[in-house]
Structure 1
Amino acid sequence: MPGHPVHVWWAGLADAHTGLLALLDPVERRRHDATVDRAGRGRFLVGCALSRLALGATLGVPPADVPLRRVCPRCGGPHGKVRLAPPPDESSCGGPRLDFSVAHSGAVIGVAVCENGRVGLDVEEADVGLDVDAAARVALADAELAALYGRPPAARKAAFLRTWTRKEAVLKALGVGLAAPLRGLELSGPQQPPAVLAWPEQLGARPDMSLTDLLVHGTHPAAVAVTGAAAAGATGVEGTPGDVRVTLRDGSAALAEYVRRTTVADTPPGA
């Protein structure tokens, strides 16, 4: 039986338009304004705006009304993982239960929205500066390291990034951070269909998990992981073979259309 779909929206740093600032809540606006790095500020703006547009389209509500919350589980501060606030009475909500995940690397920003499951999305810019040897020693299991160094040196960076996006997508779907035992999580080889081969006991019982690989703009590796009911999917990107039924959306076009509509609405007659 096919699983519930995962909608993945891709946008870029160039989509960071000031017209999107109206979608930020007061907490997000303060964080945006306090971010000194211009690229980081733009990524944050696009990620927030695209999350609200994607979730609003699924829920059938205006994007500005999508209730996002950032609460740190340790201190209660407004800097935790962003989540969709549940309705006051979940038992009275007839709509789908949604989860979403935000990912960005360099100029690439993505949002994945999943119904009736937990989702993790990761992307890495292909041309990112990276010490593959140092990163691999921290992130890869022994078998993964051996396979990596069995490849020609020129092929190792791409192979590592493919494995890394899969691992981070899995950890995001579980809601755990990079402090998790990365070397205890062993995945299939980069040229093989994505699958979990070994599961670290520190993460508890192994859940139903489905993975699929993506490629953004034909260059940048990305991955989606899903747990729960949605992990029963049987098709991949736009119906191709895979484990997660993924539908790709043009996030750049959605952001531009929002800016266009709000700009027209705010323009005085005769201006």
Structure 2
Amino acid sequence: MTGHPVQVWWARLGDARAGLQALLDPVERARYESTVDPAGRGRFLVGCALSRLVLGELLGLPPADVPLRRVCPRCGGPHGKVHLALPPDGSSGTRPAYDFSVTHSGALVGVAVCRGGEVGLDVEESHGDMDVDSAAGVALSTSELAALYARPAVERQPAFLRTWTRKEAALKALGVGLAVPLRELEVSAPERPPAVLAWPDRLTTRPHMSMTDLVVDGAHPAAVAVTVTVAEGEAGEVKDGGVRVALHDGSELLAGYAR
């Protein structure tokens, strides 16, 4: 199957420079200024700026003019999943439809962009003091928990994080986030090719989804999931159950703008 790859850019918290604030729209600026935690504020700035620079280049728009919208499906507030709000097809010329996903964990920030499908990206910074037992009780199904605790203790954190990233990426691609509990979604074992084995009962459809595992900086697990919404295969080349991914240096892109 052929098609467009998923483009993924990785950046870092340290890329948050004051000059990037000029890219924020009024809603983003209000959220940025109201975020008390400095690290959270920096990650938000990097995610917004990187999204705008990437999408602006793809769409032929100044990055500050890229129309991004955040609408919570439950309350209507400006904190839902961010999406590209281009005009209807009749007034958008030849601009293609893109979906994108933003993720961050610790010092890592990533943006994935896909044409012709819905994309989800997740990364988890691995660290030694993570409480795997508490997180696993929330995120894993009964069978996944049993499989996790059948492993030697030293293998449990990397196995759990691999499973977690796959689940988060899948739910982000569906656009439901954590509105669907992670434990209701089952994925393949960490050593197996990534795949959804069981969907939550509350989902009315069972989408065609492909996933690929990634590793950032040689240590931190990540995953990309794509749900095809047009002709099957146009969202990415599916090969051995995965998605073709093109990796880019988001830190370099941000530095180029900040200069």
Give the TM bin, normalised by the shorter chain.
over 0.9
Per-residue CA shift, 1:6-50, capped at 9, x if unaligned?
100000000000010100011111111111111011001000000
Amino acid at match of 2:242: D
In 1, the alpha carbon distance for the partners of 2:192 and 2:99 equals 27
Amino acid at match of 1:149: Y
In 2, the alpha carbon distance for the partners of 1:92 and 1:40 equals 37
In our comparison, the structure showing a higher alpha carbon Rg is: 1
Counterpart check, 1:218 vs 2:218: yes
In 2, the alpha carbon distance for the partners of 1:85 and 1:176 equals 18
Give 1:28-47 correspondences, 5 Å limit.
28-47=28-47
Verify the 8 A CA contact 1:15 1:255 in the aligned structure 2.
yes
Amino acid at match of 1:85: A
Verify the 8 A CA contact 2:115 2:235 in the aligned structure 1.
no
Verify the 8 A CA contact 1:32 1:44 in the aligned structure 2.
yes
Percent identical across equivalent pairs?
69
Counterpart check, 1:246 vs 2:245: yes
In 2, the alpha carbon distance for the partners of 1:231 and 1:159 equals 28
Unaligned runs of 5+ in 1: 236-240, 261-271
In 1, the alpha carbon distance for the partners of 2:243 and 2:78 equals 32
Worse-superposed segment, 4-13 or 90-99: 90-99
Worse-superposed segment, 132-141 or 73-82: 73-82
Amino acid at match of 1:249: H
In the alignment, which of 224, 230, 233 is matched to residue 237 of structure 2?
233
Give 1:165-176 correspondences, 5 Å limit.
165-176=165-176
In 1, the alpha carbon distance for the partners of 2:75 and 2:195 equals 35
Q: How many residues were matched structurally?
A: 254
2:193 is matched with 193
1:119 is matched with 119
Q: TM-score, normalization: structure 2?
A: 0.93
1:148 is matched with 148
Verify the 8 A CA contact 1:209 1:231 in the aligned structure 2.
no
Classify the secondary structure of the residue corresponding to 1:138: helix
1:15 is matched with 15
In 1, the alpha carbon distance for the partners of 2:128 and 2:251 equals 22
Verify the 8 A CA contact 1:121 1:223 in the aligned structure 2.
yes
Amino acid at match of 2:256: E
2:206 is matched with 206
Verify the 8 A CA contact 2:69 2:83 in the aligned structure 1.
yes
Counterpart check, 1:99 vs 2:103: no
Deviation (angstroms), 1:137: 1.7
2:71 is matched with 71
Classify the secondary structure of the residue corresponding to 2:177: coil
1:263 is matched with none
Deviation (angstroms), 1:184: 2.6
Alpha-carbon RMSD: 1.5
Per-residue CA shift, 1:44-72, capped at 9, x if unaligned?
10000000011112112221111111222
Unaligned runs of 5+ in 2: none
Counterpart check, 1:25 vs 2:29: no
